Amino acid sequence: MPTKPLVFVSLVIFALVVLVSVRNVPDPVVSQGMVAVRRVPVACRAQESPSGLRPIFNRRSALKGVVFGGMSSILANQRAAKADGVDYKAVKADIEDLIRKDMNKGPTLVRLAWHSSGTYDKMSKTGGSGPGTIRFKEELAHGANAGLENPVKWLEPIYKKYGGDISYADLYTLSGVTAIEALGGPSVPWRAGRVDAMDPSAVTPDGRLPAADMGSPKDTAAHLRAIFGRMGFNDQEIVALAGAHALGRGHVDFSGYDGPWTFTPTRFNNAYYDLLYRLDWVPTTTSAGKEQYTDSKTKKLMMLPADLVMIQDPKFRKYSQLYAKDNAKFFADFTKAFQKLEELGTSNLQSVQF
C-alpha cells in the first residue's frame, strides 16, 4: 500500500482513539448559580485579549484541535492537487510526456493556448480562453489559426483519459504553461475552472488576433496596439508577449511565412530580442508571396514585419532593448502577461497544484 494512504488511515484511527478517550475525561466543573461552569486549570488559561475577553480552553477541545488540524492540512493538500476530481499533476505529466517525445510540439501548444485566449474583447466581454471554443471547426477556420487542428488532436487522448473531468479550455491553457516551462521558460501560474461552451455559438468573429503585417511599420504598430488594447494590454505587455516568438517557426503551408525566429526554436529565452538587435535584417518574399525579413548573415532566420516593429517603434523599442539585455526581467514580465492573457474573460477560477 502506498505511504500516503497509510498515513491517512493511521490518522483516522488515531483520531477515533483520542475522541473515545477524551469523551470519558471530564473537565473540572463548579456550580455558579443555575449554570455549570468549567474551571480551567491555570496552566490552560489563555492570556486576556485586548478586548478583555478570556477564551476558555479544555483538554478535549485542545486534543480535537491537534488531531483534526493535522488531518485538515493533509486533506487540503490532497484537494489542492485534485480539485473537482481532476489530478492536474497527472494531466501536466501527460502533456510533458507529449512534448518530451517530440520537442517541436511544445511551441505549437503555446500557440494553441495563446490563440484560444487572444480573442477576448473587454468591451463586449466575449471571447478568451474560458469557453474552449478553439476546438470547433468554425474557429479553427480563422486565418490566424491555420494548423492548430493538429495540437487539438494531440490533446484529445489526454482529454478522454480523464473522462471529460477536465474542460478543453483548462486543458489547452494548461498545455501552454506546461510547454513554456518544459522548454526552459518560467513557471507561469495557472488556475483551473474554465467551463466549455457546448456549441460553436460562442465562437467570436474572425480578425481578433494580431496580423503580421499591415503594410507599413506605423500602421502595423497601430494595429498591434488596437488588437492588444482591446484585450487590455499596454505597450510593455505587448512587447513581453511578443517574446514567445523565441519558440517555433513559420510554416509556409500554414501562414505563408517560412523559417524559425531563433537558432533555438525549442528553447524559451530572450534570444528573440537579442537577435532583433544584433543581426541585420533584409526584406525577402516567401514562396507563398508573403513579405518577411531574413538575417543577412546566415539567411536561416526570419522575422515578421510585426517583429521588426518591436525595434522600429520608439515606445516598443525601449522594452525590447531591456529584454535583450535582461533575461530575468523578460521572464518576470512575460509570466505576468501570459497569465493575464490566459485568464481574460474567465471567472471563478481556483488555484490548484499542478
Q: What is the distance between the alpha carbons of residues 78 and 333, in angstroms, rounded to a whole number?
A: 31
Give the C-alpha separation, 148 to 325, whole Å: 33
Neighbours of 42 (CB within 10 A): 6
Cβ pair 272, 239 in contact under 8 A: no
Name the residue among 192, 115, 118 with its Cα closest to residue 152.
Answer: 115
Catalytic residue set: 115, 261
Three cell numbers, residue 132: 474552449
d(CA 209, CA 336): 20
